[in-house]
Amino acid sequence: MTIPPPLGLLAELTHRCPLRCPYCSNPLELARLAAELDTATWLRIFREAAELGVLQLHLSGGEPALRRDLPELIRGAAAAGLYTNLITSAVTLDAARVTALAEAGLDHVQISFQDADPSSADRIGGYAGGHAKKLIAAAAIRVAGLPLTLNAVVHRQNLERLPEMIELALALGARRMEVAHVQYYGWALANRDALLPTRAQLDAATATVDAARARLKGQLTIDYVVPDYHAARPKACMGGWARSVMVIAPSGRALPCHAAESLPGFDFPNARIQSLQDIWTNSEAFNRYRGTAWMTGPCAGCPNAEIDFGGCRCQAFALTGNASNTDPACALSPHHALLADALETATQPHFTYREPGRAPGG
Amino acid sequence: MSLTEASAPRLARGYRLRRDAARDRMVVLGPERVFEADETALAILALIDGERSVAEIIDALAAQYAAPRSEIAGDVLEMLADLAERGVIAP
Ligand code: SF4
Ligand code: SF4
C-alpha cells in the first residue's frame, strides 16, 4: 500500500519569541538558538517537501520573523513551488520588513492576537506594547497587498471580547479569521485552571460566530471549532496522525504533530540526516499511529474511526497517561469525565508565562 | 461587489492555480485551503485574468464547447458567484 504524501509542511523555524503566552504550543523544553537549523538545511527541506507532494508551507515558531534569513527562506520555498504562509505574532514586523517578505514571494500572513483590548492583550502575551506593534504590522501588510488572516486565540480571560476581535479583523482588512480555542497540552495544560472557558461563555461565543458568519458573508470567513472540553466527539488532530501534515521542529526533528515531543517512548527522526520521503514513509514514529490499525478500546471498529482517527494522541497521553488510548474528548472514552471534572475546578485567576528554562506552574 | 457579465474577475490575492504533480491534478491554493479544480472549474479559471469580462469568458466557452450561450452563461455565473463568495476570486 502506498502512503499518500503530506499536503502541508509546518516549519517551526525557531522557538524564540518575544511573547510569553501562557498557552504556547511549543514544548516545555524550548530549543535554543544554537540548536536551530541553518539556512541551507531549511532550503533543502523545502525542496524535498515539494518533491514529496507538499503544496503549502507554514512558516511558524516561536516567532519566525526573528530569523534574519526569513526573506531568503521564503524566496527558496516559492522557487520550489510551495505556497508560503507566515504564522507570526508580528511584533517585530515593520513596513520595510513586510515589503521584503512580500517581494520574496510570500503568499499569505496570519497574525495572532491575544485580545482586542490592548492592555489585556499585552498582559496575556506578557509583552508590553505588543498589541500596538501588531496593529502597525497589520497596516503594513495591507499596504503591501498581502492577504491577512487574524488568528484569535480564545479562553476564559478574553472570550467575552470576541465581538470586538471580529471588529478588529474587519478594521485591519483581514479576509479570514480563525477563532481558535486553546488546546490543552504543554504550557496550556499547566495553565488550564486559569484558561478553560465556562459553558455559558462558550455558548455565547458560538452564537457570536454564527451571527457574524451570516452578517459578513463574502467579506470575512470565520473558522471556528468547538473546544474539546465541551464536545462529545474529538477532532481529527492534524487531520489524522501522519496523514496530511509533517512538522519540522527548530532543531530538525520531524514530528507528526507540533505537540508530539510531549509523548514519551519516541525516537523522532531528524531531517538534518534523513530525507523527508524516508521519514514520511518508513519511520516508526510516523507509522505508529497512522491509520486505524493501532486502535483498541472504543475506537477499534467505531464508525467514526476514519473521520476523527481517535482524536489527539497528545491529549490522550496528557490526560490518561497512555497515548494509545481514545482521546478523552470522546464521550465514548472511559476517561471522558476527566474533562467535566477539569471544568468544575477551573477557577484560577493566575497563569504562568512560557519562558525558556521555566517549569510551568513554577 | 456583485458579479455581472461586465465584471472582469481575477484570482484574489493569496490564491494560486497550479499543477499538483504528485497527485496528477490542478489545484487552487489559498490560505489554509486546497481546492481541486475539476475540468469545468479549470476551463473557467484558465480564462480569468482580471481583463477578460465575464461576457467574453462565456462567449469563449460557448464556442469551445459548441453549446448554447444561455446554458453556459448560467453555469459560469453560478460558479463565479460561488468562488467570489468564498473569496477565491475578486470580481
Ligand atoms: S503562542 Fe505566544 S509565546 Fe508562543 S510562539 Fe506564539 S506568540 Fe510566541
Ligand atoms: S471511539 Fe474513537 S473513533 Fe469512535 S468517535 Fe470516539 S474517538 Fe472517534
Q: Can you give the three-state secondary structure of A327-347, one letter per residue?
A: CCCCCCCCCCHHHHHHHHHCC
Which residue of A87, A176, A225 to mutate against B (max B Cβ within 10 Å)?
Answer: A176
How many inter-chain contacts (A to B, CB under 8 Å) are there?
Answer: 53
* Residues A300, A306, A307, A312, Cα dihedral to 10°: 60
pLDDT above 70 coverage of chain A, percent: 99
Mean pLDDT of A323-342: 88
Q: Mean pLDDT of all residues in chain A? A: 92
Nearest-angstrom CA–CA distance, A152 and B80: 30
Q: Identify the burial level of A166 via C-beta atoms within 10 angstroms of its C-beta, where 0-12 means exposed, 13-18 middle and 19 or more buried.
A: buried
pLDDT of A362 over the 50 cut: no
The residue count of chain B comes to 91
Tell me which chain A residues have a C-beta less than 8 angstroms from the C-beta of B34. Answer: 7, 55-56
pLDDT of A153 over the 70 cut: yes
Q: Which atom of ligand 2 sits closest to the CA of residue A327?
A: 7
pLDDT of A63 over the 70 cut: yes
pLDDT of A128 over the 90 cut: yes
The residue count of chain A comes to 362
Please, which pLDDT band fits residue A333 given cuts at 50, 70 and 90?
very high
B41, β-bridge pairs: none
Mean pLDDT of A77-99: 97
Nearest-angstrom CA–CA distance, A12 and A15: 7
Q: Which of A75, A79, A77, A72 is nearest to A58 (CA)?
A: A77
Residue B65 neighbours by CB under 8 Å, 6+ apart = B72
DSSP readout, A52-103?
A: HT--EEEEESS-GGG-TTHHHHHHHHHHTT-EEEEEE--TT--HHHHHHHHH
**Option in B1, B27, B85 nearest A55 (CB):** B27
Q: Atom 1, ligand 2: which residue's CA is nearest? A: A299
pLDDT of B17 over the 80 cut: yes
The pLDDT tens digits of the residues spanning A227-286 come to 777 778 888 888 899 999 999 999 999 999 988 988 889 999 999 999 999 999 999 999
Q: What ipTM was reported for this prediction?
A: 0.87
**pLDDT for A1:** 55
Nearest-angstrom CA–CA distance, A323 and A289: 9
The pLDDT tens digits of the residues spanning B35-68 come to 998 888 899 999 999 999 999 999 999 999 998 9
- What residue ranges define each of the domains in chain B, with the CATH number in brackets? 13-86 (1.10.10.1150)
**pLDDT for A319:** 87
Mean pLDDT of A78-84: 97
The pLDDT tens digits of the residues spanning A184-222 come to 888 888 898 889 988 889 899 999 999 999 999 888 999
Question: Across the interface, do B31 and A147 touch by the CB < 8 Å criterion?
Answer: yes
pLDDT of A360 over the 70 cut: no
pLDDT of A29 over the 90 cut: no
Query: From residue A69, how far is each of A13, A37, A111, A133, A270 by CA, in Å?
Result: 10, 11, 19, 21, 21
Instruction: Flag the least confident range among A42-46, A276-280, A342-346.
Output: A342-346
Which residue of A47, A58, A82, A107 to mutate against B (max B Cβ within 10 Å)?
Answer: A107
* Residues A244, A259, A49, A107, Cα dihedral to 10°: 90
**pLDDT for A359:** 63
Tell me which chain B residues have a C-beta less than 8 angstroms from the C-beta of A149. Answer: 31-32
